[in-house]
Chain A
Amino acid sequence: MSFINKLLPFTRQFPILTEQLGLIRYSSYKSSYQLEDINPLPRKYEITKDPMEWEYVARLLPPAVIPEPLKKDKYPSGWKPQAENLSDRPYFIQRNKFHELPIYLKINTLKTRRSTVLRNIQGDIWLLEKEIRDFLSPQFFQPIRSQVNEFAGYIRIHGDYVNAVKYFLEQKGY
């Protein structure tokens, strides 16, 4: 191979001769000419540094972190901000990074069981569990089965009660 590479400039000078000698095999990519650098294209560019124009570029770049919601009189989408004075409450639920309540519906792999998981609970988790249970029990026929994990700070309720628990917490300002 290296032998053919050394010969390549020669083959370009005398293509007919090399072909007769059988040095070029057209069926093989190894016999094709090597790439050469070409001179840079004579394109002229003007370099500008205009802060007004750069604003348009800055607008196109995605934000590095999720922005904080602004205070508004009304949120038509139904989203509610967390109330400000929650420090005197016996328990606290921290919003997730999307500024939503951390309530999730978990469905098992065989899609036969649904459970509601409320996460990021700080403070008296047992009191919160009791209040949720008292809120749900009169509205649903089935007994409310729940699990409290105090260490990890979550409550798991058997069944889909996502919207009911969300409503309950939103009424309390969480």
Chain B
Amino acid sequence: MSGSKEKALNLLRYLPRISLTNIRDNPGAKMARKRGRAQHGGDKHGDGNKGSGQRQNFMRLGYETGNNPFYLRFPKEPYYKGHHLKRQYPPLSLLELQKLVDLNRIDPTKPVDLVAIINSGMYKMSVDQHHFGVNLTDEGFEIFEAKINLEVQWASEPVIAAIEKAGGVVTTAYYDPHSLQAIVNTKKFFERGIPIPRRMMPPADAIEFYSSAANRGYLADPEEISKERFALAQKYGYLLKRIEDDPDYEMLIQRKDPRQIFFGLNPGWIVNLKDKVILKPTDEELLEYYAS
């Protein structure tokens, strides 16, 4: 090989690799556009006549400068039918949950439910927008290490596996909008001075999910759940820790009654925040109504 070729190849070896940060046009490939002047070149400078081009604002989303817009072109989109009535579960990832535990925004020594997650201040949901609680997503499942007794409204299989691998337990539970209204702002709810509502059973299209042991539903048979816990550990290949031998056994087995909204407080009770007293109904009629 000649000397110049060798030199050129050597140069190539030392030059940085081409990448998005250093790619550019060949010199002279682009001519800078000059602003026109005088009678015919200088009037609009290529910005058009009036409107968004001249005023440097941008068109509203979906607007196609006078065309029949795409989003209006088709008269019917049946796959959206009833979407405004469907239950929504705003997501929370395992990574975010781990961060809440790390930063002491959630106390893992007590059972963690929707109230604890909302009171951390890092999760927002709105009942009037058909939000029904937390959908725990699997982002960060490989780093998740918090041992918690968790109750969420929706969880997928890898999420359940990540929590059980860390030695915790997870339950999926349904709350009706009336109960959620009490949950999203507990202080405001207690200040209203009304009895804690009775949690309703899930609607017909959700009862299957919340009765399934594979989803760790709150209506599922506990024996089925322990079988599913073992099956999932086999599937994902981790050693399932025995809850019975755990020092936090008492905390890990705490569950709410299917009619109960808050831990330790029964439906029908009235909480008085000012005098720090709890009013419990003694009427037979009320006791029968609020009984589980």
Q: Which residues of A contact B (CB under 8 A)?
A: 43-50, 53-57, 59-63, 66-70, 72, 74-79, 98-99, 110, 140-142
Contact = CB atoms under 8 A, between A and B. Distances in A.
Interface residues of B, number: 42
A112 to B, nearest CB: 11
Residue from A46, A74, A76, A140 whose CB has the most chain B CB atoms within 10 Å: A76
A45 B98 contact: no
CB-based closest 3 A-B pairs: A56-B264, A77-B99, A62-B119
A50 B118 CA distance: 26
B139 to A, nearest CB: 11
B278 A48 contact: yes
A interface majority secondary structure: loop
B72 to A, nearest CB: 25
A68 to B, nearest CB: 7
B104 interface: yes
20 contacts: A43-B286, A44-B281, A45-B270, A45-B279, A45-B281, A45-B282, A47-B279, A48-B278, A48-B279, A48-B280, A50-B278, A57-B190, A57-B265, A61-B119, A69-B104, A76-B146, A78-B143, A140-B21, A141-B22, A142-B21
B10 to A, nearest CB: 22
Contacts of B56: 110
B200 interface: no
B110 interface: yes
A57 B271 contact: yes
Interface string B131-153: 00000000010011110000000
A63 B102 CA distance: 17
A76 B102 contact: yes
B285 to A, nearest CB: 9
B104 A61 contact: no
A66 B280 contact: no
Interface string B55-67: 0101000000000
B242 interface: no
Contacts of A75: 102
A59 B263 contact: yes
Given A49-B276, A53-B264, A59-B110, A76 B103 contact: no
Interface string B227-250: 000000000000000000000000
B283 interface: yes
A148 B101 CA distance: 36
B115 interface: yes
Interface in B15-67: 16, 21-22, 56, 58
Contacts of B105: 66-67
Contacts of A142: 21
Contacts of A141: 16, 21-22
Contacts of B144: 76
Contact of A79 (B99, B265, B279, B286): B99
B95 interface: yes
B13 interface: no
Contact of B186 (A54, A62, A99): A62
Nearest to A80: B102
Contacts of B145: 74, 76
B279 A56 contact: no
B204 interface: no
A72 B108 CA distance: 13
A59 to B, nearest CB: 7
A62 B282 CA distance: 30
Contacts of B186: 60-62
